[in-house]
Amino acid sequence: MLKTNKSAPGVTRSLSATALIAATLLVGGLSEASAKSKKHHHRAHSSHSWKDANAAIPSSGSGSFAGVASFYGNDHGNKTASGQRFNENDMTAAHRSLPFGTKLRVTHKGKSVVVTINDRGPFIKGRVLDLSKGAAREVGLTSSGVGHVTAEVM
């Protein structure tokens, strides 16, 4: 026979039903709380900050680094992060953390170009530089769109 608990005059519940309701609320409440505590950041690409990207910073005193570079040219005329107007034909590049005005010798498949950092980016994980279209053309990067480069701070 089930034990009953009178919670109000005329209302009886079994102790097992009360325990089941309490357990459901407790577990459900904890699950909801833990789901709310997990932060999921789903941002649109355009809202990314250059600080959010994984920067490829030269780690040693050598002043050089290597990685995958891409190019961009669809922002012609817009202001860069440094405040300059972007010219897709200039020898410029975007890097996540190098100071504006830094000169880099960028080499891809034996061809080199000297670029000036005047923007922030790239915002795609695993890339180290975004070259202007003119700089990418000089080193032969425009046909593939991306490629492995070495960069030396000058």
What CATH code is carried by the domain that includes residue 96? 2.40.40.10
For the segment 8-32, what is each residue's pLDDT rounded down to a tens digit? Answer: 555 555 666 556 555 554 555 443 3
> Does residue 33 form part of some domain?
no
Q: How far apart are CA 123 and CA 136, in angstroms?
A: 17
Q: Which residue has the higher pLDDT, 1 or 67?
A: 67
- With respect to residue 138, please indicate whether it lies within any of the assigned structural domains: yes
- Is residue 72 domain-resident? yes
Q: What angle (nearest 5°) sits at the alpha carbon of residue 56, between those of residues 55 and 58?
A: 130
pLDDT number for residue 41 = 34
Per the domain annotation, does 147 fall within a domain? yes
Domain span holding position 74: 63-153
The yes-or-no verdict on residue 134 having pLDDT over 70 is yes
Say if 32 falls within a structural domain.
no
Residue 144 within a domain: yes
How many CB atoms are closer than 10 A to CB 141?
25
> Are 76 and 119 spatial neighbours (Cβ–Cβ below 8 Å)?
no
Domain count, the chain: 1
User: β-strand 111-119 against 11-14: which pairing, if any?
Assistant: unpaired
**121-138 mean pLDDT:** 95
Q: In the prediction, which pLDDT does 39 show?
A: 36
Read off the tokens for 104. 């880099």
Does residue 50 sit in helix, strand or coil? coil
Which residues lie across from 11 on neighbouring strands? 8
Q: What local confidence, expressed as pLDDT, does residue 18 receive?
A: 58
pLDDT tens, position by position, 59-106? 444 589 999 999 998 777 889 999 999 999 999 999 999 999 999 999
Domain membership of residue 3 (yes or no) is no
Residue 148 lies in a domain: yes
pLDDT higher than threshold 70 for residue 49: no
The yes-or-no verdict on residue 44 having pLDDT over 80 is no
User: Token digits for 129?
Assistant: 């530089």
Q: How many CB atoms lie within 10 A of CB 24?
A: 10
**Confidence at residue 12, expressed as pLDDT on a 0 to 100 scale:** 55
